[in-house]
Chains A and B, each alone.
Chain A
Amino acid sequence: MYKLIGADQKEYGPISPEQLREWIAQRRADAKTLALREGETSWRPLSSFPEFADILAQASAPTPPGLRPERPPTDYLVPAVLGTLCCCPPLGLVAMYYAVQCRTQSYYNDHQRARESARLAKIWFWVSLLLGIPFMILMTVLRFASMADQMPQ
């Protein structure tokens, strides 16, 4: 049987080793939790009890990627707005629509569709950029060319 000192500085127990293993697994107790084994007189951190080494290692291991809460995908909202304002507004608006849709789907934890929307937002953003910027450069060059024509010889 074991007694523990919780994070609230209160004493818990006595509890069975099975119960203690369960607490470690649930992360109610960790390697730094002070414990007292029945029949002993000194409180020691759980890390110094070899009988719990395996479960402590398990509990402190990082969660495998599959179990981690999913990160929302990058949704290109800010680039989409910039694309709408600067480059090619009609296509920028399409990118913006998908970006907002991605945010909505992330918000409601529909991660699969959110990723799809993010992909579409990214594609439309780049299309608006690649159509808009060359056209702008062309326009600027043409303007300089016509100015050079009008200049007195």
Chain B
Amino acid sequence: MTTTIQRARWKLLALCAAGLGAAAVLYAFEPTRHAFYPQCVLHRATGLACPGCGCLRALHQLSHGNVPGAFAHNPLLVVLLPVLGWLAVRGWLAEALGRQPPHAPMHPAWGWALFATTVVFAVARNLPFSWARWLGP
């Protein structure tokens, strides 16, 4: 019988492997030149840029150490990646080590700020102004 901790350890291992695999693919194949990458539903259907548009291109640039290039494709991702990455790893590590998840100390205002930022970003990058262009993919 597998315990909760064992399952959490396998989950952490699987996530690490998936992350490394995805990073390797993104490093090797540039999304603008290869057709096998998935396409965004929303963009295909409406032409709108969602908050995630440009993520793959940004990650490709990041994997080559080009932070400004990544920022040009998706600034939100470049800002959020270290924050969310740390939160996620912290939670999964706590699970794998059998500790209480360190959720409680985070003030809810941070969560709402994240939500509001995503919504505002989603709207702003579709506005037809020149200043909105640097938010776009």
Interface presence of A135 (CB below 8 A): yes
Using A81-B80, A107-B104 as known contacts, say yes or no to A88 and B88 having CB atoms under 8 A apart: no
Interface string of B35-67 (1 = CB under 8 A from A): 111111110100000111001000000000000
Interface string of A91-118 (1 = CB under 8 A from B): 0010011011001101110000000000
Minimum CB–CB distance from A121 to chain B (whole Å) comes to 11
- Does the CB pair B112–A86 fall under 8 Å? no
For the complex, what is the distance from the CA of A86 to the CA of B44, rounded to whole Å?
13
Interface presence of A15 (CB below 8 A): no
- Does the CB pair A93–B118 fall under 8 Å? yes
Name A144's contact: one of B35, B84, B108 (CB within 8 Å): B35
- Does the CB pair A103–B106 fall under 8 Å? yes
- Does the CB pair B41–A131 fall under 8 Å? yes
Interface string of B1-43 (1 = CB under 8 A from A): 0000000000000000000000000000000000111111110
Main secondary structure of the interface of A (DSSP, over half): helix
* A: number of interface residues (CB 8 Å): 35
Interface presence of A1 (CB below 8 A): no
Which A residues are within 8 Å of any B CB, using their own CB? 71-72, 74-75, 77-78, 81, 84-90, 93, 96-97, 99-100, 103-104, 106-108, 131-133, 135-137, 139-140, 143-144, 147
